[in-house]
Amino acid sequence: MTLVSECSIQGRRPGFEDAHVFGAVNASGTVISYAAVLDGHGGSNCSRSIARVFETLVAKIKLPNRRKVYPESVASVLRNHFKAFNEQLAKNGHFVTQGTTMCACFAIGETIYFVNLGDSIATWKMVNGESWYKLIDRWLDAAMFDKALKDGINQQDQWIRYRVAPRGEKVYKSTKVHSPQRDLLRIKEMGGFVTYGRLNGNLAVSRSLGDNWSDAVGKDPEVFWVPRRSFDIPYVLLMCDGMFEPYTFWRDFPIEPEAASAAIFQEFEEQLHLSDAATTMARKAFNQNSHDNISLMVLRLWPVSPSRQPKNVFSVQDLDKLPIKDLPSRMTDDKGNTIEGPGPSP
């Protein structure tokens, strides 16, 4: 996997809270190429701290040690790994009043995996007639989850297959955002509520890393995977919500984030210079009145030139890496002021 183009813009926000990472590590004897967009809220410490330890986090993934490994097994490992990391942050008291969304892409063997928490999005283009998959989520896919349990299928083995129609036009696919309304069943079960489209009247996403001020904020990521043969073109876009805000807010007829990401991918296909594509598209989103921080990564899945092998980089270049155990427990803003309050608003 190659990082073709990237761009981050502070936009009209008073501070910049995004981060993004890209690289490759050897985990359990398997090379994993990874990329992720992190959209922080309540401050920049959470997204930046997780960006600094992301390489270590990926290296600790324990992949199944078998000759034949099925994609659903790897997807289950990824979900459990990031859920455990999120629970560890809560147990250690980190990021009580801050949080970050995460949309990560992993290239493992002949399969591309997407791990999503929050409202950042990965989008790609499918071949007609091909399939992509996701693990069944207990809350987001409640009916299918209950039916699978009745059929005697264990939770870790439950997955859904989606298929593009052989002559269908809907070939642009994406991960799904975790909005409070979509996650309403789980939020109510955890004692929370949704008002004005916000969790407990405060947070605009229902799942994230951090945000340990409320048990109603979900810690389970949603995992999708796509076989390499199913991609029409070998490109994936990772973006935060600032990229598609002009489509979902600032237009006469707003559309859903997933539809907006499809429109953005079609715009990407029209770009003449791939090395400048992210910059061109991010600036266009800013000019279309996006009020949020804007981050966009353009990834090429194959082939990977030897001269362009992944190098472990992240967007915060002036800070040393910290081990997970040393992540700060007391959150401060960029001016050193302690952040107080019941929780952040993105």
Q: What is the pLDDT of residue 11?
A: 87
CB 236 within 8 A of CB 4: no
Mean per-residue pLDDT, 160-187: 91
CATH assignment at residue 133: 3.60.40.10
Residue 156 pLDDT: 64
**Cα–Cα distance measured from residue 228 to residue 231, given in angstroms and rounded to the nearest whole number:** 6
Residue 176 has pLDDT above 90, yes or no: yes
Mean pLDDT on 165-178: 89
For residue 342, give both structure tokens: 């019941």
pLDDT of residue 143: 84
Is 315 among the domain residues? yes
- Per-residue model confidence (pLDDT) at position 252: 83
- Rounded mean pLDDT, 191-214: 93
Residue 338 falls inside a structural domain: no
Residue 305 has what pLDDT?
Answer: 47
Give tens-digit pLDDT for 103-138: 999 999 999 999 999 999 999 999 999 999 999 998
Beta-carbon count within 10 A of 263 CB: 15
Other beta carbons within 10 Å of 172? 20
Residue 336 included in any domain: no
Q: What is the mean pLDDT of the chain?
A: 86
- What pLDDT band is residue 339 in, cutting at 50, 70 and 90? very low
For the chain, count helices (H), then strands (E).
7, 16
Q: What is the pLDDT of residues 225-240, one digit of tens each?
A: 999 999 999 999 999 9
Structural domain boundaries, residue 95: 2-326
Tokens of 279: 């910059």
pLDDT of residue 174: 96
| 181 pLDDT above the threshold of 80 | yes
- Kindly report the three-state secondary structure assignment for every residue of 80-130: HHHHHHHHHHHHCCCCCCCEEEEEEEEEECCEEEEEEECCCEEEEEECCCC
Check pLDDT > 80 for residue 257: yes
Residue 344 has pLDDT above 50, yes or no: no
Is residue 345 in a domain? no
Mean pLDDT computed over 303-322: 47
Q: Based on the structure, what is the number of domains in the chain?
A: 1
Q: Does residue 243 lie in a domain region?
A: yes
pLDDT (average), residues 265-270:
95
Burial (Cβ within 10 Å: 0-12, 13-18, ≥19) of residue 233: middle
pLDDT in tens, 52-78: 999 999 999 999 887 778 899 999 999
Does 218 reside within a domain? Answer: yes
Is 346 within a domain? no
Indicate whether 113 belongs to any domain: yes
